[in-house]
Amino acid sequence: MGERETDMLGELTAACELGITAEQLGEVIHPHPTLAEAMMEALHDVHKQCVHSM
C-alpha cells in the first residue's frame, strides 16, 4: 500500500474487531498533522462530512 500503511491498518483492524462504524471512528480525535488525521478525513468523507474534501 504505502510507506505508513501499518499505521492505518492498526487503527482499522481495531475498529473492525470492536465493531466500530466509520462514523464512530471518525469522531475519535486524531493528531494533526498525521496520517491518522487523513484516515479521519476519509472516514468523514464516507458520510459527506469531510472538511477538506475536493
Residues noted as catalytic: 32
The label of the residue with cell 475498529 reads 15
Which runs of consecutive H residues, i.e. helices, occur in 1-54?
Answer: 5-18, 22-26, 35-46
Triad 3, 36, 31: Cα angle to 5°: 130
